[in-house]
A and B are shown apart, each in its own frame.
Chain A
Amino acid sequence: MASRRTRYSTLGLALPALALYSVFFVWPLASGLYLSLTDWNGLAKTCNFVGLRNFAELLGDSLFVSSIVVTLKYAAFVTALQVALGLILALLLSSERIRFRPFLTTAFFLPKVMSAAIISVIWTFLFGNAFRGALGLIGMENTAFSWLGDPDRAIYSLGIVEIWHGLGYYMIILMAGITAIPSDVLEAAEIDGAGLWEKTFHVTLPLLAPTIGVCAILAAANSLRAFEIPFIMTAGGPGFSTTTLAYFIYNTAFQSKQFGYGCAAALYMLAGIMAVTLAQLRIVQRKGVEY
């Protein structure tokens, strides 16, 4: 009797969270799955069931394929640099030799609390008139290149904005990881004659590996969903050079009025992000270090 009561009370306590999860995650996912099997245009009150046609057509859609390539380039660039630079900053700001640590920590974290829309507008101005104008002041206007107008460079320019935006967040996570390393392990290394570099590379970094792995997973998952920055700064252009997968989905569903087709692309994106995340998790679990 007591265990049944415990089960009911557990269920009752979990019910609100389950309800929210169902409404905001399960139901949209199920709706998206259903719509991906139809030709709904986002407006009509009825639609036709088309089976897996949308999924098959996407594989032959050059714009879909190119958006995946753009997204992977963007995600690789952003993830690598965000985690690497976040790690460097975390190591530096964890050292007591650095002055004004609280101020610097806050300054690096501040971009993360700003909305992506605002920073996109600011950086559009910087990449456009500001940098060109600054070079003009020193008579070097002719050396200015196009940050957002060059199709080969634009995606990396957007990546710089994303890196700047999210860097502080991963820095904070890594700083927490560094703080969690027991001091006696580091002291033992010092006693054994390890200098700063040895302690960093042979003690701190290996013990920090799981945290670095978590940061890489979060950064990758976030950058694979890139939308606001390409949407505001370049509208996916020039051409399709910054059309990420999320932007392709938005364009297809809302601009081209192919909602079913867009839902199918979104499910491909979900599967892709899950695959990447699972792969990263396996690597992290394999590379974990115990002490």
Chain B
Amino acid sequence: MKSFGAHIKRYVQLTFYVFIFYLLGWGFTPYSELFFSLGVGAVIGLYNMWSMYRDVKKIGDAAEKQKQAFTFGMLPRMATGVLAAILIVRFPEYFHIAGLVAGIMTPYIIILLHSLLKGTSSKDSMQ
């Protein structure tokens, strides 16, 4: 069974691969607005993933040491949604709404697909 940090590294790695795909789409296809939005969204999504990693680690460590952890830090992640909305409203000529939202969701989709395809099987959990 891989450690928690190894899983997160894998997710970040996969997100960077997708981000490079977005950059290539921005540079070499006529849909530059869409791919630019996807790329910016992916960066925001990476921040969300890092924030989640930090909070999950904090909660896990607190539970292991029988200590208290008071906040789960959901507000900053919601605030990234507000940031995306501000970007779309302020700069509609640069951003594509569906692209930006899909970009923010990129790490979440990767987590979902990774958990469905490779996931933590019961065999792994027992080791």
The finding on whether chains A and B are genuine partners in a shared complex, rather than unrelated, reads: no
